Amino acid sequence: QSALAQPASVSGSPGQSITISCAGTSTDVGAYADVSWYQQYPGKAPKVIIYAVTKRPSGISNRFSGSKSGTTASLTISGLQAEDEADYYCSSYTSSSTWVFGGGTKLTVL
Amino acid sequence: EVQLVESGGGLVRPGESLRLSCAASGFSFSSYSMTWVRQAPGKGLEWVSSVDSGDSSRDYADSVKGRFTISRDNVENSLYLQMNNLRAEDTALYYCARDKSYYDVLTGFQTYHFDSWGQGILVTVSS
């Protein structure tokens, strides 16, 4: 059950777009549509921002979008805003009937 | 409004036991699978265990298998995590989360994600 691979940090200026990758394997990201992304502010619980690879929950800005190609999922945030500065985690179901999270990516808005 | 409130955390010594509870309200608890996720201080999220709506199927991370037991009481609307033989590396903030399903009519796939989370409860294992 190795964690999905995410960059430790990404940064961007307000208004720019950034993409966070989430590399898995053929037994997790590559095998299932159960890929989701979570946003977490310091001292707060995580919040789902993308589920089923590309779907946004009600109330989540359309600046957030998800995609998947093979064994790698991606989260793109367009029109970066200061309030987007947070930690982001991907997650996937696995063929072992377990779940796995990515190591997390700290987004800094310059 | 969906509410999940964890309790039962605290400071214990290595080898001791602890039972976490998660009180659910605002939704039909018995209709949802539930999950425990933990986060060590300054670290990322780690899935711990999940249980289906009827308490008939339980899955565990390798790191806790054989030591932790997940269970639920659909009458009391509560989720539990019995943690035995605790180790220093079990020190973390433990979250309970609701598993929400989504059915894509175009692909025919049913997927799950964690759509509601509690505020977390701290478990510290130290001598």
- Name the DSSP letter for residue A55: B
31-50 of A, contacting B, C-beta below 8 A: 32-34, 36, 38, 40, 45-48
Residue B84, burial from CB neighbour count under 10 angstroms (0-12, 13-18, 19+): middle
Among the partner residues A3, A45, A97, nearest to B59 by beta-carbon distance:
A97
Looking at every residue in chain A, the average pLDDT score rounds to 97
A1 close contact with B: CB closer than 8 A: yes
Mind listing the pLDDT tens digit for each residue in B43-96?
999 999 999 999 999 999 999 999 999 999 999 999 999 999 999 999 999 999
If one counts every other C-beta atom within 10 angstroms of the C-beta of residue B56, the result is: 7
Which residues sit opposite B83 in a β-bridge? B18, B68
Among the partner residues B45, B63, B111, nearest to A46 by beta-carbon distance:
B45
pLDDT at A19: 98
**Is the pLDDT at A1 greater than 80, yes or no?**
no
